[in-house]
Amino acid sequence: MRNGDVTVLSAGDVAAALEGREAELLETVRRAYEAHGVGQSSLPYSVFLRFPDEPRNRIIGLPAYLGADFGVAGFKWVSSFPGNLAHGLDRASAVIVLNSTLTGRPEAILEGSIISGTRTAASAALAARTLRGGLTYSQAGVIGCGYINFLTVRFLLAACPEIEGLVLYDLNAERAAQFKHKCQAFGADLDVRVATDASAVLRECALVSIATTAVSPHLSDLNTCRRGATILHVSLRDFTPEVILGCDNVVDDVDHVCREQTSVHLAEQLAGHRGFIRCTLADVLRGLAPARRDADSTVIFSPFGLGVLDLAVSKLTLDHARRAGTVIRDFLPASWEDSRNDS
């Protein structure tokens, strides 16, 4: 491209570039976690824009740089407006800007909700595979039947191919039924059932993904969980701090997850320390920590959602979509240094 041009990838471009690349995406996310784990990144805290009259709504800005063999910098601006669902719109929307690490100039603008959802799902599935501790999962539980958990199911089936069934729950029975219907795309042999409540999912499944729009804890008892359960706490605010303190906790980044009133943050406030967090996922991936504390413990993976993952998946998307998208010519202005003597 010419200097000053910017590539724009639409939702269709992004989806086409990532279609059928589950294994490659899992590997990309793994490498990004490991690079971050050894300090080959720069990751400022996310910025939360909140609305005083609508506490469930928020827009989050995630700046990041990822080094190693990625060499990418950028920013994700992602909104979460749960009320959109009642109007036939997705809860989340996003845009991602990638900048040159040599000049700092923007080089690409990508539709970000697909990338954001994909990296979240791939991260959860990678954790499920990494933290299993020798266990196998015959079925997976889903609490929250939205887009994020739908993508998570897609990646769980790729990361843990022994899964033969799903147990679903959503506060909205119609959404659960729709989710079940959509899961038929994953194969006719997949057994999908809808549970009557969240506790039934936790009781029946050794692997559970929780992705809700909860803003405060609503799950206070894991006593009926399966032995050695793995819980992917994607939505971060579902468990009471007492539950967190009683489990084996693995996170993506300790400093980042102990913010913004997540369940882990609430547990830190209650305990007065962070000692209940055993390790990060990168520690397990790099062999610095075991997959789980012991065979009987319930391990909860709480991923705050790191901007470095968005960048890694964005780079992969751009690499596979070089011939797609729209190039906006001369999006950036000509250099003032070159034009200052013009008459």
Domain residues of the chain, as ranges?
Answer: 6-115+307-339, 132-302
Nearest residue to 186 (alpha-carbon basis) of 220, 238, 150:
150
Q: What angle do CA 175, 62, 235 make, to 5 degrees?
A: 30
% residues pLDDT > 90 (the chain)? 83
User: pLDDT-derived band of residue 134, with 50, 70 and 90 as boundaries?
Assistant: confident
Residues 6+ positions from 234 with CB-CB distance below 8 Å: 120, 124, 148, 149, 152, 209, 210, 211, 303
Mean pLDDT of the chain: 94
Task: Give the pLDDT confidence of 234-292 residue by residue, as tens digits.
Answer: 999 999 999 999 999 999 999 999 999 999 999 999 999 999 999 999 999 999 999 99
In angstroms, rounded to a whole number, what is the distance separating the alpha carbons of residues 143 and 170?
Answer: 6
pLDDT given at position 327: 85
Domain 6-115+307-339 homologous superfamily, CATH: ornithine cyclodeaminase, domain 1 (3.30.1780.10)
Q: Which CATH number fits domain 132-302: 3.40.50.720, 1.10.3720.10, 3.10.20.30, 3.40.50.300?
A: 3.40.50.720
**Whole-structure pTM value:** 0.93
Whether the per-residue pLDDT at 180 is higher than 70: the answer is yes
> For 157-186, what is the mean pLDDT?
96
User: pLDDT-derived band of residue 329, with 50, 70 and 90 as boundaries?
Assistant: confident
